[in-house]
Amino acid sequence: MNLTDEDLASIQEVRTLLHQATRAQKIFSQFSQEKVNAICQAMADAGVEASERLAKMAQKETGYGIWQDKVLKNIFGSKTVNERYRDMKTVGILSEDPEHKIIDMAVPVGVIAGLIPSTNPTSSVFYKSIISVKSGNAIVISPHPKAKECTLEAIKVVSEAAYKAGAPAGLISGITIPTLAGTDELMRHDETKLILATGGGAMVHAAYSSGTPALGVGPGNGPAYIEKSADVAQAVKRIMDSETFDNGTICASEQSIIVEEANKDAVRRELENQGGYFLTSDEIGKLSKFILRADGTMNPQIVGKSIKQLADLADIDVPAGTRVLIARDSEENIGPDDPYSREKLTPILAYFEVDDCNAAAALTTKLLLNEGAGHTAILHSENQKLIRQYASLVPASRVLVNTPGALGGIGATTDLNPALTLGCGAIGGSATSDNISPMNLMNLKRVAVGMRELKDIKADSSVSQTHSIESSGDLDHEQLVEELVRQVLAQIK
């Protein structure tokens, strides 16, 4: 790798920040639960206070989304996250099991590397900083270059709030010269104990390939299945609310709609009534040229853009009042080269028709295995038996029922753990399927008291083996004794 002066400066900065964070975390690890909670509260309060200013900064710098919705995301990433975990015990003894004489104790991992996406640059700083500090850790944050200024300002907000509340200097920091070389150094350095990565597939792969333990989250591509028992108007409203929230920049937002033959006419009417515009074949072709880049990755030009911006980009005319662009698609098209069956993070939805629930589950599986395996699926239904059937069939860590995908997946409209990092499980190449919480950022030390002696184990084994041998009826008494001795000795060895 040929390193520029900027790369070298970034690498040196990373090493300095990690040294400071390591020292700060050692001091912080001795803080009481009450002191940790007070620091997290101060960070959350500061996040709320700065939520509008930072939302406007993020929208202006990245060009993604709607600043008013980013205000809500900032409040979610600070206030909502802190309130959910405020009473969670994360210091010292977490639990005791008197019957089995086991004690669980919390052990912070140390210094966390927080990789921040450009789609949620300020809210992710609040969220990752709060859950890291809550679990007793320090965090060094790597901003996305496209969102550098707003991310660094968010880091300043929470780090200053934490310091004023009594946290040691250096507990929360960020790279001011973000380069690939610097981020690579952050991920691979010995003082980094865990990587918390949210972003594109290449970045997450790099995190898992770094040699440092990582919790990484790749793309979402959530299909929304409107089953025939669903309240169609309400289902469409939820999908529209989700897809237009911050112009679809949350990874759990719907990327396609699946309907049945039995309700397709009602769904299509309702989509049009609520601002969905079905693209013509010609328009589908025009827009498709801008969804993916030449290397097959999502085109940043479309991410978080308004309908007008998308229409102007593709040179298409859409009716006034259009909220979402809808492209009819077919199962045969699904694949890496079909942009509509991929994650889009903008108000564009693919549209599919199937015969029944089994076909919908098969289509959902094909879509998620194409992109977004293990992430999220959305279902609108009133049939409780079918809900369980569908959930058991699809490869998603979150199956959200009768709720907007974007807000349900992160735990805003559901009671899932509030999170802006959503694990995809083994099928998605992730180390966890959880909505990442403070409990994912600590180790558990278990204190276990002896309950049996070796003679007890031998006795139990001897009784079991004797019963097994005697029940065979094939050996005489002398042979039984010899066989018993042989098996007991084998157990001891």
Active site residues: 251
Structure tokens that stand for 47 in this block? 């996040």
Q: Quickly list DSSP for 179-190.
A: -HHHHHHHHH-T
In this structure, how many other beta carbons lie within 10 angstroms of the beta carbon of residue 5? 7
CA distance 119 to 59: 9
- Strand ranges of the sheet holding 93-97, from the earlier edge strand across to the other edge: 93-97, 102-108, 442-448
In this structure, how many other beta carbons lie within 10 angstroms of the beta carbon of residue 75? 19
Structure tokens that stand for 405 in this block? 């995908």
Contact 325, 278 (CB under 8 A): no
CA distance 449 to 447: 7
In angstroms, what is the C-alpha Rg of the chain? 27
Structure tokens that stand for 225 in this block? 């299945």
Contact 227, 383 (CB under 8 A): yes
CA dihedral (92, 95, 101, 102) in degrees, to 10, reads -70
Q: How far is CA 218 from CA 133, 344, 373, 465, in A?
A: 24, 13, 9, 51
Structure tokens that stand for 110 in this block? 């140390």
CA distance 168 to 176: 20
3-state secondary structure of 262: coil
CA distance 474 to 1: 72
Enumerate residues 6+ apart whose C-beta is below 8 A from 486: none
Amino acid at 194: L
Enumerate residues 6+ apart whose C-beta is below 8 A from 43: 78, 82, 126, 129, 130, 133, 158, 161, 162, 165
Within 13 Å and on the Cβ side, how many CA atoms surround 217?
Answer: 28
Nearest CA-CA partner of 136 in 435, 445, 436, 443: 443
